Amino acid sequence: MKTFLADIFPKIQRFSDKLDNLTMLTNQHWVSIDDILSTKTVYIFRTNNELLISKNGKVEKAKWEHLGNKSLLIDKTTDSYLFKHGFFDENVLALKVDSSEEYAVFVNENKYDGELNSIDKVIDFLRQTYLDPSIKPTIEISKQTVYRETQEGETLKIVSVNNETIGAKVYINEKPARDGTYVYKSLSHKLIVRNGEIQSRYYLELFKEYIFEKINNSEPTVGDKVYNKNWTRVPNGKIRYSLFSHFVIENSSITKY
């Protein structure tokens, strides 16, 4: 795991979310800013404190734990690392190596797939987003409204800003939607709504007798959930996806393919 010296993180820490915001941290694909152009290493923090580390598709299982006091422990087979909170938003995760001024830096693949592929680009992005006052006035804010019917027969009015799904307002009969899970009638998406806003969005794929709950709008991958058509958990085992590929399922999640 490569680390970097970067003085921008203390400057923007006041804009940071907290490490114990598990909704933002877990079940996301955090790509390590390392040798990202030649080796893609993805860290997936699961809610059961299991950590999946996928290096060019080869998966290693580790453990992670939020220790409080802005500390995070990563326990791998060969090494253990203690990190302090550096910076955290929906796009970038910076973990400060304990007793050091260096940071391990990760980019949320769901937000910036392929664009923030170096530490310099990450720093430029953060500087323009949080520190450069000349950038912000040029950002145009536009609202979009769409209506989606759920499997329960309700109509969701979804109001987003600049096409950002996460954080979009959700209404039912012009009132903020109650907390809960909403599945589109078309079975294309699943939304988690809290306080009248979309907290999480998943892409759904119907395959034979299964439903894949995917983080990305692509083929299922490590970390995605798998359910039976009636939304019950799938037993541990293997699911053949195509002639040449299959998925290993543990605790109703894809752990290997």
Reading the chain (257 residues) residue by residue, the pLDDT tens digits are: 777 888 899 889 888 888 888 878 888 889 888 766 667 888 999 989 999 998 887 899 999 998 877 899 999 888 898 999 999 988 899 999 988 889 999 998 876 655 677 888 888 888 888 887 555 444 455 788 999 999 999 999 999 987 788 999 999 999 999 999 999 999 999 999 999 999 999 999 999 999 999 988 888 889 999 999 999 999 999 998 887 788 999 999 999 87
> SS3 sequence, the chain?
CCCEECCHHHHHHHHCCCCCCHHHHECCCEEECCCCCCCCEEEEECCCCEEEEEECCEEEEEEEEEEECCEEEEECCCCEEEEEEEEECCCEEEEEECCCCEEEEEEECCCCCCCCCCHHHHHHHHHHHHHCCCCHHHCCCCEEEEEEEECCCCEEEEEEECCEEEEEEEEECCEECCCEEEEECCCCEEEEEECCEEEEEEEEEEECCEEEEECCCCCCCCCCEEEECCCCECCCEEEEEECCEEEEEECCEEEEC
pTM above 0.85, yes or no: no
Structural domains of the chain sorted by starting position, each given as residue range(s) with its CATH number in brackets: 4-131 (2.40.128.640), 143-203 (no CATH), 209-256 (no CATH)
